[in-house]
Every structure is written in C-alpha cells, then in structure tokens.
Structure 1
Amino acid sequence: MKLSQANDHYTTLMNKYKGYIDTWDAIYALDSDEIDSTAGLYEEIKNNLIDTGYFTAKEMIDLIGNICNKSLHYRRGYIDLMKRIIEEHQCTDIYNISFLSQYDDIKINTSEYAIMNDNENELLYHLKNEKLNLTEILEKCCLRGAVNCFKLLQKEFDIKITKECLDASFLGNNQYIIDECLKENNPDDDTMNAAIESHNITNFYKLHQEYHPKTQLMNVGIYKNLHAFIYILNETEDFNFTFIVSPYFHIPSFCEYMYQNGADINYMNDQGTTALDIAAIENQTDIALNLILNGINVSALDSRILNEIIMENYIFMLELLLSHGANANTVISEYSFSLLHMACYDNNIKAVNILISHGANINDARNEQKLTPLMLTCMFNWKEIAVLLISHGANVNMQSACGLSALHIALRCKVKDNFKKDMIELLLSNGANINAKDEVGYTPLHIASGECSYEIVELLISHGAEVNSLTNDGATPLDFTTRRKSKTPDSSQESQKIMSLLILHGVKNFLTGFSSINLSSLYTQPIKNLIWESKANFLLST
C-alpha cells in the first residue's frame, strides 16, 4: 500500500468516526468526582454510542463500571454517568453501581481512601500509625494519579519507583508522575497496554515513537481505543491482522470498510482467531451476519467461542451461527463436554432448545465420565430442562463410566428433598430402572437410605425398589441407614423411620456390609429393638 493510500485511510476513518473516538476518549479521561458533572458527557454517549446502535445501554453501564473500578478516585463522576443511563433507558440497577456507591463507607479512614482523595496529610497519619508496605502504597498513588501523595512518599521516605509504578502511572494519567516514573524505568509491552487503556493518545504516541514496545492489538479493541487502532493500521498497513480485531468496536460499517479495502475475511491469527470469533463474543449479530454473507467460514469457529456465547446467553447469536453451519455437536476441548452439556449445566433452556433443533445429540456421552446432558441436569436439579430432554428422547437409563444413572445422580443432588422429589418422580414416570446398580453395587435405594428423607425412600419402595439388594461388599439399604445414624446423630428420628419402613417391606439381609466398623455399638435402644424384632420375624418365617 502506498503512503498516500495509508494516509487517506487514516484521514477517512478519523473523520468518519470522530464522534465515537472523542466520546470514548472522554469517558476514559473523566477527571471529575463531582455529582451532576457529567451531563455533557452523557449526551455524547447517548448521541454517539447508544442512539447509533453501537452499544446498548446495558453494555455501556457494564463498560463504564469496569472503567470506574480502575479509576476509583473519580468514582462519583462515573456513578453519576451510569445513573443517567439507567434513568433514561430504563435499565435495571446492577451490581457495579450498588457496590461503588458504598465504596466511601467501606474504605473511609484507610490509607487507600486517603490516596483516592489525594490527601497527603491523611496518608501521612496512616503511614505513621500503621504497618504498611510503602512500595505498594507508592504504586497505588501512581494508579490513582495522586500526585500530592506521590510527592510525599518521594520526599519523606525516598521509596524506589518500580516498573509496576511506571505501568500504573500510565493508567493514573498524571503527567508529573508518568515523567518521574520514566526517569527510573524503561517502558515495555505492559506499559504500552496501560497507555492504550488510558486513551491518552499523546502518551501512546510517545511510547510508540520513542520506545517501540509491542502493541497488543486485542487490548486496543477491548478498551475501544479506535484512535490507536487507526494509527496502528496506518503504520502497519496490515488490513488482515487488524481486521480480526475490528468487531470489538461494534461498528458494522467499520468492519465492512476493512474487508472492502483488502482484508481477507477468513484470515486467522496465530491462535486461530477470526473476525467472526470476536463478533460472536461481543454479541454483534449484525457484524456476524455481514461476515457470514460475505463468505466467512463459520465451521472454523472456535468451540470455546460457542461455549462462551451460551454462558453469556447470547441466544440470537447462537441461532445465527448454528443456522449457518456451526456444529451443534461441537465438544468443548477444555471441558470435554458438548455444547448441550454446557447449556444444561448453565440451566439455559433457550440454548438447549436451539441446540436440539439443530441436531444436538441428546444422549451425548463423549467425555471421560460418560455423563449425558440429562445426568448433568439431574446433578443440579434443573427439572424444566430434564422434561425437555426426555421429551426429545433422552435415555433415562444410560449409565456413566462408574455406573451412575440419572436417578442415582438426582438422589445425590445437593438440594432439599422436597425440591428434588419432582425430578425423581419425573425419572421414575419415564422408565428409570429403580434397581440399577453402579460399579460398586449401589442402587438408588442404597443412596436414599443413607442420605435422603423418609419420603424419598418411601417413594422408591412404592415404585418397586428392592429392599434386600446387596452392594458388592454385601451391604443392604438398611446398613446405609444405620451408618447414617452413626455419622449424623441429629438424623436419628429420620433414620429410625426409614429403618421401620425397610423392615415393614421385608428387609432380610442386614448388617453384612461395612464390616470394618462395629456398627452395633452405635445403635440406640429403639433401633436395636427394631433390628432384633426383624430378625425374629425372619427366623419365624423360614
């Protein structure tokens, strides 16, 4: 590309997206901690970022909240900005604001509070009366741009300026502190990342031209620093590498500009990332659709990206990608679970529905534990999803690598019995094998007798559970109830009721397992009586 062409691109893009660039720069450069000081900036955000469709109101609140967490010395200004967005756009108040609003109460009368307010006298009091790490205190001064506190530490304590101080100073954006830190340390890639995040384009230029550190282009996109991005594009003339990052800015026309001016739409970086990957994780359906219509390879989509859009509940994006060739049976290599497993794990019934409609294997067990989506659903007691899976053919009697069925797993679910009873009834009404054994011979009744309520045990017996079933080491459900009593004395009344129930239904073999424990010495008298009464009845009947 000729220099004149590159300059043309720079001028064109800077002019076209001036409002976007100026607004994001102003958000990051907010330097007021006064309430009601952000009316003008709010109007810029509304006109240049929200009304243009680049960002939703909720996205803006999330992004501004993240900025505020690193710029707490201006927290009141950022809170004011977020409240304006919430009020006009009818957003639900979120954690960022409620937490940040309490920050003064949490941090008041601390060294950190003194630094946030750049109060050197208050900081000096804490330094004299508390045992503090002075290096860490200096780094916090750099991060908060607390120039008075910084000067105090240098004058009174002569603390060494570390590389961490330098990086933090570019985020704190106080030029005096930055210059002092540069006298003591050389900037590197981390320093450049801090300059990118700060949106101080002057400092970015200075680092780039004088020190030449490497620029992490993904961070340029993550922090919405479009000015720096256009500068890098102009310098490198590399439309392919920069194109991958372009969806981070949420501007469909900008992405189009990139591939219309020579970017390879299917270009991948060294990590295998494409522009479609970024569009997907940013939930940019318009950009993703344009990429698809212009020939991007959907099947090359990273499985982790598909998992992330399920976890983030990006339902329209999931439908779009599956409708254009993404594989509904993709296995997430990091977890060895399918997309359907992950949707079930996340209790995301909309995603489960979409995956099933696009051919997801309902009984997928391609993982080391051989767990099916239904088993995972039972593990967390997601009944609504279990109903959906069963209605589409989920096999209730498949067993895991260690022999666990969905019923075994449902019984072990860590919720109260009155909540998991519905799941157990659902499985039983759909043909679950009431006497299925795992690899050590445990049946559902063994588990229930040792862990669940009388009501659950009664339910299993009413569906035909074998009360005399033996584990591999010869233990009966009654043995499990007895062990339960010995380990959890508080459950003695419930245990006694269960033992009575088991005996009532003809338990014959008992106390044959767990031979290494002298269980008989742990029985209370009422339970002893039940056992001996049962033994007498058994002898009389033989």
Structure 2
Amino acid sequence: MSDKDIPPNKFSELRSIYKCYIDSYIALYRLKTEKEEELNSIYKMIKTELIDSNKYPLQIIMRDILNIIPYNNRYTKSYLFLAKLISDEYHVQEVINIKLIYNFLFYKEYGIKLDKSDDFEGINSENLDIHTENTIYRAIMYNDLERFIQFTERDGFDKDQTLKSDLFPYSFRGYSLLELCCYHGAVDCFKLLRTKFKSKITKECLELSFLGGNQEIMSECLKYQKPDDDCMKYAIISHNIDFVTFLMNEYNIEIDLFYCGLYNNLE
C-alpha cells in the first residue's frame, strides 16, 4: 500500500488504525542491536501493542520473529532472544510449522525444541557457524576492512568463492563475496573487491543491497543492474518505505501485496 494508490488523508487514517502492528514489525525487521536493554524495549512494544492489547497469537508472533533471521542474520541471537522472552513469559511450549533450521537454532541456544516433531539428524551445523571468529564472512558482516584484507592476502584466497548457508535467503549457487557485502551493507569490503579484484556486480548484488540498506552500494549496483520485482520483494522485506517508493516512482515497479502480507508490511 502506498500514497500513490490512495489519497494521502486516507493513507494517514489507515496507518493510524494499524499503527501498533506497523511500528512493531518495523522494529523487528529493522532491528540493529544485540544489547539486552534495547531488545527488552522492543519486547515491551510487542507485548503491549500486539500481545496484550490485540491478543495476537503467540505462536504466530514467535514464528514471525524467527522467520526474519535470513534477511537480517547478523542479529540471529537477538531474534532468538526475543522469541525466548515470549516463550518464558507466556509459557509457550510448542510452535508448530516452524522452519526446521530456526527450530534447531532455538534448541541449540536454549535447549528447547519448539516443534517436537522435527528431527535434527540431517542438519549440518557447520553451515550455521559461518560468522564465528576468524572467518572472512564475519569480517564482511562487521565491515572489518583490516581483517578482510588479511584474508584476501592469504595464499590460496579464492576471489570467486561462494557461500551456501541456511542463514541467508535461498540461493541455488550460493552467494559471492561481493553479494555478501551487499547483504550486510559492508561498503568498505565492497569497494576493495571492486577495485582490487574487479568483482562483478550481479542481479543478486542489487537485490541484496535493499536488505543491506547501504545507499552507496545500492547506487553503484544501479549503474550495472536494472531493478525488477525481486528488488521490490527485498525492499518490502526491509520495511524501508523510502526504498519501496523509490522503486515504484523511478522504475514503475508495482508493489506486490502478497509479499506485503507475507512479510508483515502493511505500510
């Protein structure tokens, strides 16, 4: 929904009606903290605006929170923590139809299996430990240029390496280092790959830049790739209304209401 489709006054009226829902999910999708005090503040908003006031189903809220992880995985532990706060206060014993990988992450962190029917036997935990200390992926995640350079100067460094991980949106071929920079908004690492290794800006680079939110990266990607519906999908997921209106106004890309519902973006 946008003010291009409805009169501004009506848009403001509708936003006011759904303000509690909209603001709560913006806080979740745009979460940028690992500090317990700030997470408790977000939890208080969810508790007040969604759970206690509107009786929003607890299992759905927990599932929604965990489903955000692949689009903002730097803060995986923060999402797990928020889900745990709900589980503890409201004594949620089970969440059915949760994705296996998030069920496993929650179990690994807290020893609680949310969906009792899941079998963790086939899960490759190495696939989930990519951001541990001393990995190039962690250097990208924190845009740690000094550490990143050290990795690129090692013998055997492969500038064309790709990563497949369930912590990211699904990709058949995996993500290149440059694409990971776009995902995390790691502009310094991005510039190094472009200048030193001539890394190619792909369609996925542009798409992921809407999640990373770094406008310098996005502007560079727009020089080589044209936005499409997948970019709009990620703009919707980002819950950044400026990105959505930019694609709509500059490139005439329609807002997909299915994705707005799927990713809790009523704005």
Query: TM-score per shorter chain, which class?
Result: 0.7 to 0.9
AA at the equivalent of 1:172: G
Q: Structure 1 residue 34 and structure 2 residue 59: aligned?
A: no
Q: Structure 1 residue 95 and structure 2 residue 104: aligned?
A: yes
The residue that corresponds to 1:115 in the other structure is 140
The residue that corresponds to 1:197 in the other structure is 237
- 1:355-411 CA distances to partner (integer Å, 9 max, x unpaired)? xxxxxxxxxxxxxxxxxxxxxxxxxxxxxxxxxxxxxxxxxxxxxxxxxxxxxxxxx
Cα distance in 1 for residues equivalent to 2:145 and 2:51: 40
AA at the equivalent of 1:173: G
AA at the equivalent of 1:118: N
The residue that corresponds to 1:166 in the other structure is 206
Secondary structure of 2:93's partner? coil
Q: For the Cα contact (< 8 Å) 1:34–1:76, is it kept in 2?
A: no
The residue that corresponds to 2:73 in the other structure is 72
Cα distance in 2 for residues equivalent to 1:178 and 1:86: 38
Trace 1:203-218 onto structure 2 (pairs within 5 A). Answer: 203-218=243-258
Question: For residues 98 and 127 of structure 1, do their structure 2 counterparts lie closer, same or farther at Cα, with a shift above 3 Å needed?
Answer: farther
AA at the equivalent of 1:16: I
Cα distance in 2 for residues equivalent to 1:152 and 1:142: 13
Give the one of 160, 172, 193 matched to 1:133.
Answer: 160
Question: For residues 158 and 99 of structure 1, do their structure 2 counterparts lie closer, same or farther at Cα, with a shift above 3 Å needed?
Answer: farther
AA at the equivalent of 2:256: Q
AA at the equivalent of 1:125: Q
Q: For the Cα contact (< 8 Å) 1:33–1:73, is it kept in 2?
A: no
Secondary structure of 1:38's partner? helix
Q: For the Cα contact (< 8 Å) 2:69–2:75, is it kept in 1?
A: yes
- 1:113-133 CA distances to partner (integer Å, 9 max, x unpaired)? 222232223333333333242
Secondary structure of 1:180's partner? helix
TM-score by structure 1 length? 0.38
Q: For the Cα contact (< 8 Å) 1:166–1:185, is it kept in 2?
A: yes
TM-score by structure 2 length? 0.74
Cα distance in 1 for residues equivalent to 2:143 and 2:82: 22
Cα distance in 2 for residues equivalent to 1:104 and 1:33: 22
> 1:44, CA displacement in angstroms?
1.0
Bigger relative contact order, structure 1 or 2 (CA pairs below 8 A, ≥6 apart): 2
Cα distance in 2 for residues equivalent to 1:54 and 1:103: 38
Cα distance in 2 for residues equivalent to 1:179 and 1:54: 42
> 1:196, CA displacement in angstroms?
0.5
Cα distance in 2 for residues equivalent to 1:140 and 1:171: 11
- 1:91-140 CA distances to partner (integer Å, 9 max, x unpaired)? 23843423578889822232222222322233333333332426711001
The residue that corresponds to 1:299 in the other structure is none
The residue that corresponds to 1:85 in the other structure is 86
The residue that corresponds to 1:220 in the other structure is 260
Cα distance in 2 for residues equivalent to 1:207 and 1:218: 17
> 1:69, CA displacement in angstroms?
2.5
Gaps of 5+ in 1: 228-542
The residue that corresponds to 2:191 in the other structure is 151
The residue that corresponds to 2:222 in the other structure is 182
Trace 1:136-535 onto structure 2 (pairs within 5 A). Answer: 136-227=176-267
> 1:68, CA displacement in angstroms?
1.5
Question: Which is greater in Rg?
Answer: 1
- 1:416-459 CA distances to partner (integer Å, 9 max, x unpaired)? xxxxxxxxxxxxxxxxxxxxxxxxxxxxxxxxxxxxxxxxxxxx
Cα distance in 1 for residues equivalent to 2:136 and 2:39: 28
Question: For residues 181 and 33 of structure 1, do their structure 2 counterparts lie closer, same or farther at Cα, with a shift above 3 Å needed?
Answer: farther
> 1:47, CA displacement in angstroms?
1.5
Question: For residues 35 and 23 of structure 1, do their structure 2 counterparts lie closer, same or farther at Cα, with a shift above 3 Å needed?
Answer: same
The residue that corresponds to 1:9 in the other structure is 10
Question: For residues 55 and 177 of structure 1, do their structure 2 counterparts lie closer, same or farther at Cα, with a shift above 3 Å needed?
Answer: farther
Cα distance in 1 for residues equivalent to 2:16 and 2:67: 28
Gaps of 5+ in 2: 95-102, 111-124, 162-174
Cα distance in 2 for residues equivalent to 1:152 and 1:100: 35
> 1:49, CA displacement in angstroms?
1.7
Q: For the Cα contact (< 8 Å) 2:159–2:197, is it kept in 1?
A: no
Q: Structure 1 residue 106 and structure 2 residue 129: aligned?
A: yes
Question: For residues 154 and 35 of structure 1, do their structure 2 counterparts lie closer, same or farther at Cα, with a shift above 3 Å needed?
Answer: farther
Secondary structure of 1:91's partner? coil
Cα distance in 2 for residues equivalent to 1:164 and 1:82: 30
Cα distance in 2 for residues equivalent to 1:113 and 1:197: 23
For these two proteins, the number of residue pairs brought into alignment is 225
AA at the equivalent of 1:26: A
